[in-house]
Structure formats: structure tokens, C-alpha cells
Amino acid sequence: MKKCRYCKSEIDSKAKICPHCRKKQTNPILRGIMIFFGILLIVIGCSSLSNDLSSTNSDDNDNASCYLTMEKFNKIENGMSYSDVVDIIGCDGTLSTESSYEDSSMKIYYWYAKNGVANGTFSFMNDSLTAKSQIGLN
Ligand SMILES: [Zn+2]
């Protein structure tokens, strides 16, 4: 014998429907499994949703299409600010060295070419380009 989940009257433990209140008796273990899978589905749904969001994240696309070319390299002139250079190349560079002395700050950034090997290095003194060099661009 077991108790009806709804009206609490004693019913046959194998009864699927309570003879007193006519409510369906759901197996608590089955219910637990169903809740577990329900939560699992929500978790999977959320993680796949966040994957979708990160795959549509524009950063990845920007980096794939952003690279240094000889043409861009030649457009970049001494005296330009870091943001000027970013505008020409199309994305942020990688900061390789940063140092400061008294009122001066020196930042050296590099960008890779499409092949991932050739690269250009740009040195900024107080956010003004003072030197540029490149390896392998053509
Ligand atoms: Zn009942």
C-alpha cells in the first residue's frame, strides 16, 4: 500500500490512478529521472546557445580577415597614432614591448601577414609612430 500523492488516502501500490481522487500517480523515481533530463536539456540548450553566440562573435571574423599587407605597411607613416595604424590594418596589434621613461612611453606592436609568418613591427613613442619594420612582406 502507498499514499496517494494528492489526497493522501491509502491506495494499492501498483495503482496508476487513485480510486479516491482519480489523479494519476506518477512514479517518483520516473519523475526524478524526467526532472534530471529536463535540467540536462536546459543545460545543453544553454551551452549550445552560448556556443552559437561565441561563434557569431565578430572578433574571430575580424582576426581572420585582419592582416598586414605590404600595401598597408607602406600607408603607415611616422607620426601616426596607434589608432591610425589600427584603422589602416583593421584590427588591434599585439603589444610586444612596453616601457616608459620619465614622461615618455614606448610601445611596440606587431601584426602578422596573412600567411602568419611575415609580420610588421611598429614602435610608438607617446602614441606617435617613430619606427616601423617588416619581415617577409611582399
Ligand atoms: Zn487520491
CA of 16 relative to ligand 1 center, distance in Å: 10
CATH for 65-135 is 3.30.1450.10
Q: What one-letter code names the amino acid at 35?
A: I
Asked if 106 and 99 touch (Cβ cutoff 8 Å), the reply is yes
Q: How many residues does the chain have?
A: 138
What's the pLDDT tens digit per position in 81-128? 999 999 999 999 999 999 998 888 999 999 999 999 999 999 999 999
Q: What cell numbers appear for 34 in the block?
A: 524526467
Nearest-angstrom CA–CA distance, 44 and 30: 21
Task: Write out pLDDT tens, residues 25-81.
Answer: 877 777 788 888 888 888 887 776 666 655 554 444 445 568 999 999 999 999 999
C-alpha of residue 30 to centroid of ligand 1, in Å: 19
Cα radius of gyration rounded to whole Å, the chain: 32
What is the domain partition of the chain in residue ranges?
A: 2-55, 65-135
User: Which set of grid coordinates corresponds to residue 63?
Assistant: 582576426
pLDDT of residue 62: 47
Ligand 1 center to residue 17 CA distance, Å?
8
